[in-house]
Amino acid sequence: MRVLIVEDSVLLRAGLGRLLEDEGIEVVGEAGDAAAFLSEWERTRPDLTIADVRMPPTHTDEGIRASVELRAKHPEAKIIVLSQYVEERYAKELLADGNGGVGYLLKERIADVGEFVEAVERVAAGGTALDPEVVAQLFARRRNPIDALTPRETEVLSLMAQGYTNAAIAEQLVVSSGAIEKHTSSIFSKLALEPSATDHRRVLAVLQFLEADR
């Protein structure tokens, strides 16, 4: 896998590079601000970009804006955005095009190397990865139409939002894959999602969830 790292802190850039190389992931480029991000992406065409939200010059949300801009031009670009804090709107802006292949994680998750690498692989394959804290915040905030879901379905949706597959969810909740299938199809119908390619629908469910109550 070829990865582009966009991070203004040299220290973190180097640390992240070492970590990825350990896992056999090739770092094909590095950038420290939004402009360099876009030009490096065009040059290297990576399988995945890992970008910090906070970058020069304003140190606010350059990373998100550059990512959204890039994906508008190249919907196939896969991006994981790392943030110092949870901001659900960042997640919403990233997921808005409904294409998947995006992730939004708190920076400190990188330290849990195993889970981080899993998220990297998932997003590179076109899935999603939302930080558990982001998901928790979304649930705290939105009541509709989530109220219509049973507690178990809410639990499943929350894991789905984090990006887990049915098999992974089944493993976490210690139930059979079949049971999770049943829950997910019930969630899809309660959220009024038409049957379509499963992966696409999962992203839409999360998106629906983000749009609710707003």
Partner 1 sequence: MTALSMSRFLRGSTYGIVGFPMAILWLTIFTTLLSVSGSLLIIGIGFALLSISLRAAGIAGMVERRLLVEILDVKIEQPARFSSGPGFANLILDPLRDSSYWRDLVFIGLRAIVGLLAFAITVAVWLFPPFAFSTIIWGWFVDWEFIEVFATLVAGIGVLISGPFVVYAITEIQVAFARTLLGPGHRQLQEQVSTAQRTRDLSVDAAEAERRRIERDLHDGAQARLATVAMDLGRAKRKLEKSGGDSEIEAIIDAAHTDAKAAIVELRDLARGIHPAVLTDRGLDAALSEIAARCTVPVHLDVQLHQRAPAHIESAAYFAASELLANVSKHSKAGQAWVTVRSDPTHLRIDVSDDGLGGADPAIGTGLDGLHDRLASIDGVLSVHSPLGGGTTALVEIPLNQRAQ
- Residues 127-186 touching partner 1, rule: CB under 8 A, are 133, 136-137, 140-141
| Interface segment toward partner 1; rule CB under 8 A; list 83-91, 152-160, 184-192, 203-211 | 83-91
Out of 84, 150, 176, 189, the only residue in the binding site for partner 1 (CB under 8 A) is 84
Q: Is 213 in the site for partner 1 (CB under 8 A)?
A: no
Q: What is the dihedral of CA 109, 16, 75, 28, to 10 degrees?
A: -160
Q: Is 72 in the site for partner 1 (CB under 8 A)?
A: no
Cα 189 → chain centroid: 23
Nearer Cβ to partner 1, position 61 or 153? 61
The residues, ordered by sequence, that sit 6+ positions from 180 with a Cβ below 8 Å of its Cβ are: 156, 166, 169, 170, 173
Q: What is the dihedral of CA 107, 112, 113, 116, to 10 degrees?
A: -60
Strand-by-strand arrangement of the 128-130 sheet: 26-31, 2-6, 48-52, 79-83, 102-106, 128-130
Nearer Cβ to partner 1, position 15 or 145? 15
The residues, ordered by sequence, that sit 6+ positions from 139 with a Cβ below 8 Å of its Cβ are: 146, 154, 158
Nearer Cβ to partner 1, position 58 or 76? 58
Nearer Cβ to partner 1, position 54 or 122? 54
Nearer Cβ to partner 1, position 39 or 84? 84
Q: Is 57 in the site for partner 1 (CB under 8 A)?
A: no
Q: Is 60 in the site for partner 1 (CB under 8 A)?
A: yes
Out of 87, 118, 121, 199, the only residue in the binding site for partner 1 (CB under 8 A) is 87
> Token pair 């180097």 is at which residue?
14
> 72: part of which helix (H) or strand (E)?
helix 62-73
Question: Would you tell me which residues interact with partner 1 (CB under 8 A)?
Answer: 9, 11-12, 14-16, 18-19, 22, 54, 59-61, 84-89, 107-108, 110-114, 133, 136-137, 140-141
